[in-house]
């Protein structure tokens, strides 16, 4: 299988993760012009699973390093299979709430609040489970990102009024709950892998490609529970049906599948990078996605187009603190 041999390449993969995690929401925004997010989300989970299968039989099965996918999945212990599968369930519960928040409050609000909160909590969870890197630089970087999250929340509150304000509050609440849940999923998947040796992984533990496939299966299977419930009891608007989903245009379905593939690429790269960068750094850099999502929301989707100067200043501060915080996180892993 393909593995990363040096820290610099691992950091590059982490930045690709950040770009992917911060950009998949654009596909939801595109589909949302004619398509409810609950319907989009079915295609999104299909895209994740399809991508996981393709990667398992390509990058996960080539080369002489490590075990190939078929050999690996046959020897993974049941406890590790369950751990990665539970990670998929937890992630799906959180991400469907994040998707709801995006549909209500926009990318520039949902991602910095939801994913930013997941970053802060997740770094603590992953670091104390598998300590790696300079803790001072790591946690100072996290603290700066907390400030950036607060700035985003204040900016969102100033940018809303009336009914829009009520929707924004609901979107913020959904993003916060999503962030708390999302902070736990990575640890379950990381626990199923031998992070210390991808080249010769210990018996019973999974390679990143196998862990990601099991994780993706957990996402897809749990979606029959979570998304069916949300379709019948939506956070906003009328309930939607499976009939509406199957009557959708091929191009609209394809947008959702593409969104799932974008997210899946970033996630797989994060797992691959964790072997050299460490789970705390790999997770933290990927969760820098809120900055990317906020850039899309502010400059492409114009979600703060009618904001006053005070809101624009808060957004600028948010970007500066995010960038500085992420820089410190990168440096922490090289020490």
As averages over each run of 10 residues, the pLDDT of the chain (335 residues) reads: 88 91 89 90 97 96 86 96 97 92 79 80 78 84 83 72 62 89 89 86 93 97 96 91 95 96 94 82 74 79 76 86 84 70
For residue 165, what pLDDT is reported?
Answer: 57
* Beta carbons within 8 Å of 254's beta carbon, 6+ residues apart: 43
The reported pLDDT for the residue numbered 162 is 47
Report the candidate in 240, 265, 291, 243 with the shortest Cα–Cα distance to residue 16: 265
Cβ atoms of 93 and 247 closer than 8 Å: no
User: Sign (positive/negative) of CA torsion 229, 232, 233, 236?
Assistant: positive
The two three-digit tokens of residue 316, written as one number: 């600028």
Q: Are 91 and 185 in contact (CB under 8 A)?
A: yes
Tokens of 102: 């995006």
Phi, psi of 105 (to 5 degrees): -110, -15
- Give the pLDDT of residue 160: 59
- Dihedral pair phi/psi, residue 206, rounded to 5°: -100, 155
Do residues 294 and 315 lie in contact, with contact meaning Cβ atoms separated by under 8 Å? yes
Q: How far is CA 74 from the centre of its chain?
A: 28
pLDDT at 164: 53
């Amino acid at each position: 299988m393909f593995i990363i041999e040096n820290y610099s390449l691992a950091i590059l993969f982490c930045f690709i993760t950040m770009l992917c995690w911060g950009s998949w929401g654009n596909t939801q925004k595109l589909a949302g012009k004619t398509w409810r997010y609950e319907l989009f989300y079915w295609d999104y989970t299909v895209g994740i699973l399809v991508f996981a299968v393709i990667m398992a039989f390509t990058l996960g099965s080539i080369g002489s390093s490590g075990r190939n996918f078929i050999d690996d999945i046959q020897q993974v212990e049941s406890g590790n299979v369950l751990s990665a599968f539970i990670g998929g369930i937890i992630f799906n519960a959180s991400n469907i709430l994040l998707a709801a928040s995006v549909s209500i409050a926009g990318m520039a609000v949902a991602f910095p609040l939801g994913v930013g909160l997941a970053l802060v909590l997740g770094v603590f969870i992953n670091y104390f489970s598998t300590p790696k890197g300079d803790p001072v630089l790591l946690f100072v970087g996290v603290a700066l990102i907390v400030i950036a999250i607060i700035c985003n929340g204040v900016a969102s509150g100033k940018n809303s009024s009336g009914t829009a304000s009520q929707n924004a509050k609901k979107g913020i609440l959904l993003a916060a709950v999503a962030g708390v849940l999302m902070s736990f999923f990575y640890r379950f998947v990381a626990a199923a892998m031998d992070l210390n040796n991808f080249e010769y992984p210990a018996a019973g533990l999974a390679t990143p490609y196998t862990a990601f496939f099991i994780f993706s299966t957990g996402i897809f299977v749990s979606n029959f529970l979570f998304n069916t419930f949300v379709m019948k009891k939506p956070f906003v608007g009328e309930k939607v049906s499976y009939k509406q989903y199957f009557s959708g245009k091929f191009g609209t379905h394809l947008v959702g599948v593409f969104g799932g593939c974008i997210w899946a690429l970033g996630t797989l790269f994060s797992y691959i990078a964790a072997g050299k960068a460490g789970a705390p750094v790999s997770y933290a850099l990927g969760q820098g996605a809120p900055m990317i999502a906020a850039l899309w929301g502010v400059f492409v989707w114009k979600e703060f187009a009618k904001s006053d100067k005070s809101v624009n200043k808060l957004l600028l501060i948010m970007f500066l603190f995010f960038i500085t915080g992420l820089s410190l996180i990168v440096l922490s892993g090289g020490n």
